[in-house]
Amino acid sequence: MKAVFLIGTAGSGKTTFVKNFSQWMEDKGVDVARINLDPGVISLPYSADFDVRTYVDTEKLMRDIGLGPNSALTVASDLIAVKVHEISEEVEAMGHELALIDTPGQIELFAFRPVGRAFSESFLRGPKMVIYLFDYALMLEPLSFLASLYLSMSVYASLAMPQLNVINKADLVSPRIVKKIEEWYSNPFKLYESITKSYRGEKLKLGQELSKALPLLSSLNKPMPVSAVTMEGFIDVYSQVTRILGTGEEFSHEQAL
């Protein structure tokens, strides 16, 4: 079974993307499993074929061990990592063609803890990849745009899986904003110019230094504008998913770095 992990910052629209993209693929005849790996989610807008909350209960952790909400999520994340092989066998036995995997809202709980590497290395037998969801709302200014790119690259290096970058919520911004962000990504001089116009003092220096890494940060694919609500861009996303997973090539941690 092939696997696609949805990763992004809180509020980027991962769960809505899983709900609607899985439905879109099913309408096209793709046999897809919806997998929830967020132990802290209260309710889901889709019917999960596998729900990690059957393995860990964050509220029980809070009651039994006296943990706060964040600590309970962290402990739950580490417990899930220990059970990766058991979870993998259960999902693999479902026999679906593709697993679309919803990860925790707090990006660090999956991308930067042992659970992320455990799943990237040991979950399912087929090829795996990441769809990284940017949020347009966090990319409107030059510095927040750069911060988003650095976070994306950090996930890429941490999980060592092929990664497709998409910018969600295209339905909420004007074509002018979409064009501006595309220009920043494709043309370092345009970004540098915007930094110079937007900031003074320490922010200006910081922006200028951070922008020097843009050629490295843009070594991944140019982020694709999509809308998880209107399904705009889904056909392009699916085309890239098919291209990436269709190869079945091994992807090493060294390649990610």
Cα distances from 201 to residues 191, 195, 206, 211, 217, in angstroms, run 17, 11, 9, 16, 24
| Percent over 90 (pLDDT), the chain | 82
The strand pair at 128-135 and 224-225 is best described as: unpaired
- The chain-wide mean pLDDT, for the chain, equals 91
Domain 2-137+159-170+221-250 in CATH 3.40.50.300:
yes
pLDDT 10s digits, 70-105:
899 999 999 999 999 999 999 999 999 999 999 998
In 9-163, where does DSSP find H-type helix? Answer: 14-27, 58-65, 69-82, 84-92, 108-111, 114-122, 142-159
Range from 133-137, 227-231, 249-253 carrying the lowest mean pLDDT: 249-253
The answer to whether 22 and 86 have CB atoms below 8 angstroms apart is: no
Of all helices (H) and strands (E), which one includes residue 187? none
Q: Is the pLDDT of residue 16 over 50?
A: yes
User: pLDDT category, 204, cuts 50, 70, 90?
Assistant: very high
Can you name the residues that pair with 100 across neighbouring β-strands? 4, 34
pTM (predicted TM-score):
0.91
User: pLDDT category, 250, cuts 50, 70, 90?
Assistant: very low
Q: Which residues contact 204 (CB under 8 A, 6 or more apart)?
A: 195, 196
Q: Is the pLDDT of residue 214 over 90?
A: no
Q: What is the pLDDT of residue 219?
A: 67
> For the residues 99-127, what does the mean pLDDT come to?
94
Measured between alpha carbons, how far is 102 from 112 in angstroms, rounded to an integer?
Answer: 16
The answer to whether 117 and 82 have CB atoms below 8 angstroms apart is: no
If you search the block for the tokens 């919803």, which residue do you land on?
A: 102
Q: Is the pLDDT of residue 247 over 70?
A: no
